[in-house]
Chain A
Amino acid sequence: MAHKVCLIRGDGVGPELVAGVEVIFKAAKVDIDWIDVEAGLKCVEAGKPIVPEDTVAKIKEIGVGLKAPMTTPIGKGSVSPNVTLRKKLNLYACVRPVRSLPGIETPFKNLDIVIFRENTEDLYTQIEYMATETVAHSVKIISEQASEQIIRAAFEYARANGRKKVVGVHKANIMKIGDGLFLRTFNRVKADYPDIESWDNIVDNQCMQLVTKWHLYDILVMPNLYGDIVSDLAAGMMGGLGVAPGANYGHKCALFEAVHGSAPKYTGMNKVNPTALLLSGTLMLDHLGEHAARVNIEGALEATLKKGIKTYDLGGNATTSGFSEAVASELK
């Protein structure tokens, strides 16, 4: 029976990337019943909320979604469609796996790290005030329950996927109350997982160690803002945002997304790398229990890259559709 999946085609280059992924999934004979739902700039231009309530309701009903990049309108009062979806769907865990891919030369050989980013609080509550005419005040909220939820998710993922180490990342030496609560929670939860090696690092030191001793790290778990920054750093180590996938998990649904922007200046140019959305799609296949399809598609992607077929961001000249067709032709 076909898997039902909600599909947000996105803004800018989003629809071109989705078309590429559809070609590859079709060639892999993955039985997906795509259900188009709308969100993003097109909704705003039509006078609707950036994420309409019926879109939220449909993703809740179906339980799984794949999302191409969307554009956050610039201007007073505009909100991010990505943050809106995370909040309205209670997607508390952002998971960003980064690993070396063949044919993509970086200084970071054998990179293989999974970053767990708390997705619902921290400075992303976006509660802000002007306290006086010259002083701004942003409220950082760290709760024990959200911290425990993401930390436990990281340890459970480690167990389920044969990973050996989980590192809690924080800045508790300075933010002794907020990050201190995250660190105390990490230390309490890790005691439940004696089979997993675990320790904590201060976020600035973690960044330095990522680019000097990346091979020491396996799973990193951290509050929202550090997760935002560190996962982009790690994406760069992998080869750039064009190849970095992302997944957001909640209790009742999961949303898979390329983490890069909608690149409006390249709209219609058939130029942008579909790999990030494709690898987000293969994470989705794993979530759906289609492990063989995931291995098959990722194998075809790696074979394509090994042949030197690459889009412009990786130094090649393949188009979005050309690259997608090359991957599709490698499928067994």
Chain B
Amino acid sequence: MMTLHGVDVYLRTPSIPDLPKEFGPFSLTFISNRGSRVWPPPTPEMDLCDWQQCRFLSDNEVTGTQIDELVVHLSGLGWEWTKCQKLFKIDGDNAFSQPY
């Protein structure tokens, strides 16, 4: 069974964004740049491209509406998202990859 647990929000910004660490049921678990974790520290010495993958995740099942509210909240803070990907579990297992 597929259950919804979070969202990867891809932001267009050249540096590591300072985002809310909690929002509703979600925690910001990491920010990656091209698959390499850049937050939380230690941040590798790497060339950043201007597209940051920001993962908001909940241990519990969430609703699509809660994800919509999170994305609207981030937009309201002035962040420009270019892509969002919902994060599912299938039969309790993560159906999404982890960063390096």
* Contacts from A to B (Cβ < 8 Å): 53, 60, 77, 79, 83-84, 87-90, 92, 120-121, 124-133, 137, 141, 143, 145-146, 149, 252
Task: Sample 26 A-B pairs with CB under 8 A, ordered by A number.
Answer: A60-B45, A77-B98, A84-B100, A87-B35, A87-B36, A87-B44, A87-B46, A88-B100, A90-B45, A90-B46, A92-B47, A120-B36, A121-B34, A124-B35, A126-B97, A126-B100, A127-B97, A127-B99, A129-B8, A129-B95, A130-B88, A130-B90, A130-B96, A131-B85, A143-B51, A145-B49
**A125 in contact with B47 (CB, 8 Å):** no
**A127 in contact with B35 (CB, 8 Å):** yes
The DSSP consensus for interface residues of chain B is loop
**B53 in contact with A127 (CB, 8 Å):** yes
A83, A87, A92, most chain B CB atoms within 10 A? A87
The DSSP consensus for interface residues of chain A is mixed
CA distance A123 to B66 in the complex (A): 30
Q: Mark B68-100, 1 if CB is under 8 A from A, else 0.
A: 000000000000000001011010000111111
Please indicate the chain B residues that have their CB under 8 angstroms from the CB of A128 in the complex.
96-97
With contacts A125-B34, A127-B53, A130-B88 taken as known, whether A87 is within 8 angstroms of B42 at the C-beta atoms is no
Using CB atoms, name the residue of chain B closest to A53.
B42
Using CB atoms, name the residue of chain B closest to A253.
B45
Which residues 1-21 of B have a CB within 8 angstroms of A? 2, 8
**A79 in contact with B100 (CB, 8 Å):** yes
**A126 in contact with B47 (CB, 8 Å):** no
Q: How far is the CB of A91 from chain B (nearest CB, A)?
A: 10
Give the size of the chain B interface in residues (CB under 8 angstroms): 24
* Contacts from B to A (Cβ < 8 Å): 2, 8, 32, 34-36, 42, 44-47, 49, 51, 53, 85, 87-88, 90, 95-100
Please indicate the chain B residues that have their CB under 8 angstroms from the CB of A83 in the complex.
100
Q: How far is the CB of A224 from chain B (nearest CB, A)?
A: 11
CA distance A60 to B87 in the complex (A): 35
Please indicate the chain A residues that have their CB under 8 angstroms from the CB of B42 in the complex.
53
**B85 in contact with A129 (CB, 8 Å):** yes
Using CB atoms, name the residue of chain B closest to A129.
B96
CA distance A280 to B88 in the complex (A): 43
